[in-house]
Amino acid sequence: MHLFFSSDIGYGEYFLNEAESRHCIKVLRLEKGDTVWLTDGKGNLFESTITDNNIKQCRLDIIKVHSQQNQSSFSLHIAVSYTKNPDRFEWFVEKATEIGIQHITPLLCERTERIKIKTERLEKLLIAALKQSHQTYLPTLHQAETFLSFVGNKEATSNRYIAYCNDTDSIQHLSKLYPAGSDLIILIGPEGDFTEKEINFAIENQYKPISLGNNRLRTETAALYACTCINLLNQMK
């Protein structure tokens, strides 16, 4: 299946933009009469046929709409500190989208070392990962937010978790605390971990401390581990 993305897909005739047209005709070597699939990132899958294989403006005829494909029964929101090396955060965004995530918030913590975030590049990575994994729901990339502002939001879901480095066996693994099928938020800290003040503030705001195993993980690895764990728990329920 050749999948393309656009947020403004209508019905009937549709034109791919120049970049998508070039990829469709020159790279994939598709021709008139070939089937092309489109998604708007909102759960809709559009089946179409190429009617003009123009390399700059490929014209499609949308013939059928399949709505609400692969909708998750839960909503996973990971708020993770932006990393000193942007490539590491980008890697997480890409892989989490492929695995399955609904919301991502870059978190600005006391020990976050980089605060300049390339939002446009991250959004392009989300779309590329969506197409590559043949999904129809585009995760929401929220604006970067300070730790105190995000955690202090009283409208957050009741299933709130914070992962941090600790030396106690009393903190349970995420898999033991999360009720499969429910919405949740997970906080992942920076390379230097959350400060004691941040941890206490999160706990005061009903965030439960969780373990992600015995190994000490990098920020982006911990976030992806949590994402994978939640998806597996929901697949097994």
What fold characterizes domain 76-236?
Alpha/beta knot (3.40.1280)
Task: Report the number of secondary-structure helices (H) and strands (E) in the chain.
Answer: 7, 12
Cα 233 from Cα 176, distance rounded (Å): 10
CB 14 within 8 A of CB 38: yes
Q: pTM of the full predicted structure?
A: 0.91
3-66 belongs to CATH 2.40.240.20 = yes
> For every one of its 237 residues, what pLDDT tens digit does the chain have, with 9 covering 90 and above?
789 898 888 778 889 989 889 989 999 999 999 999 999 999 899 999 999 999 999 999 999 888 765 578 899 999 999 999 999 999 999 999 999 999 999 999 999 998 889 999 999 999 999 999 999 999 999 999 999 999 998 777 889 999 998 766 789 999 999 999 999 999 999 999 999 999 999 999 999 999 999 899 999 999 999 999 999 999 987
Distance, CA of 143 to CA of 206 (rounded, Å):
23
The domain segmentation of the chain, as residue ranges, is: 3-66, 76-236
